[in-house]
């Protein structure tokens, strides 16, 4: 219920902020003089499509993860390792105050793990076969603590809200700017000409790039929090050791794009590309833990 209220409240807040901002800047009056835009309808359209698309993706996230990653759920443990995995997740979930997630394994030689799901009590934690093969139990425990912390922090829902907010702004302002281009530059008096559609597409591309930078910044920020949570659940030394083990992997994340933000590690990028990283560099995460209070 709280998440539904948060969703509705965010939509209302976006609409109020946009309405007030446009009125203060005098854009509302100018738009009316140049053929007009039904601002209320555009705001609702932008919020519904901007927020709605993000929440549909969140609602389907567990199903998509299982299908795209080929996750095999551990329902009846087949060996001591699987039993230990279930027991560890159960203990950490209890400590974190969340419901028991589904636990699964996906085939990948790269050490990785991810968490997803629409709520704290309906989530999924999955680890790669490579992670189980290359890490000690202490290191795996730390990785599991990191993923459990993502769930306990509500990171999946919060990231969805952030994505929805920026999507709303992108949809709204691209159409407002497209309208102004059509009326001011191309002098179209009625309806919409090519200038509007070209403007919308171009502006939406530019704003989407800026929006991605904002979303990725937040994604990097929450990784530090999840590392701290993993250190709290399993121990700081174990969390640092796990990150150092991941550092030894020379390849980039084996997760598909739609799941990359929810993994324990992300792709390695350089220079300007770092602005689009979903995860901070491992050396920076290790340093943050090493400099934190024991």
- Of 110, 147, 189, 258, the catalytic one is 147
Contact status, residue 286 vs residue 241, Cβ threshold 8 Å: no
Q: Are 170 and 214 in contact (CB under 8 A)?
A: no
Residue 266: CB partners within 8 Å, gap ≥ 6? 252, 253, 260, 277, 278, 279
82 is catalytic: no
Convert the chain into a string of H (helix), E (strand) and C (coil): CHHHHHHHHHHHHHHHHHHHHHHHCCHHHHHHHCCCCCHHHHHHHHHHHHHHHHHHHHHCHHHHHHHHHCCEECCCCCCHHHHHHHHHHHHHHHHHCCCCCEEEEECCCCCCEEEEEEECCEEEEEEEHHHHHHCCHHHHHHHHHHHHHHHHCCHHHHHHHHHHHHHHHHHHHHHHHHHHHHHHHCCCCCCCCHHHHHHHHHHHHHHHHHHHHHHHHHHHHHHHHHHHHHHHHHCHHHHHHHHHHHHCCCCCCCCCHHHHCCECCCCCCCHHHHHHCCCCCHHHHHHHHHCCCC
Catalytic residue positions?
147
């Amino acid at each position: 219920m709280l998440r539904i209220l948060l969703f509705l409240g965010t939509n209302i807040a976006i609409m109020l902020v946009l309405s007030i901002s446009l009125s203060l800047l005098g854009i509302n009056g100018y738009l009316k003089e140049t053929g007009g835009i039904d601002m209320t309808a555009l705001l609702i359209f932008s919020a519904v499509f901007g927020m709605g698309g993000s929440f549909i993706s969140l609602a389907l996230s567990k199903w998509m993860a299982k299908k795209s990653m080929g996750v095999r759920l551990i329902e009846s443990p087949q060996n001591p390792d699987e039993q230990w995995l279930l027991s560890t997740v159960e203990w950490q979930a209890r400590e974190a105050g969340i419901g028991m997630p589904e636990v699964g394994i996906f085939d990948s030689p790269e050490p990785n793990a991810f968490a997803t799901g629409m709520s704290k009590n309906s989530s999924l934690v999955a680890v790669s076969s490579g992670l189980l093969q290359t890490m000690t139990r202490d290191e795996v425990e730390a990785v599991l603590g990191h993923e459990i912390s993502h769930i306990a922090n509500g990171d999946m829902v919060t990231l969805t809200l952030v994505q929805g907010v920026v999507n709303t702004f992108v949809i709204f302002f691209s159409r407002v700017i497209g309208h102004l281009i059509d009326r001011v530059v191309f002098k179209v008096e009625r309806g919409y000409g090519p200038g509007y559609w070209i403007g919308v597409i171009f502006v939406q591309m530019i704003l989407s790039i800026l929006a991605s930078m904002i979303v990725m910044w937040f994604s990097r920020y929450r990784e530090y929090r999840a590392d701290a949570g993993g250190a709290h659940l399993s121990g700081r030394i174990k969390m640092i050791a796990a990150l150092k083990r991941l550092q030894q992997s020379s390849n980039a994340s084996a997760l598909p794009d739609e799941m990359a933000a929810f993994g324990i590690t992300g792709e390695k990028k350089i220079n300007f590309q770092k602005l689009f990283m979903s995860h901070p560099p491992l050396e920076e995460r290790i340093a943050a833990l090493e400099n934190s209070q024991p």
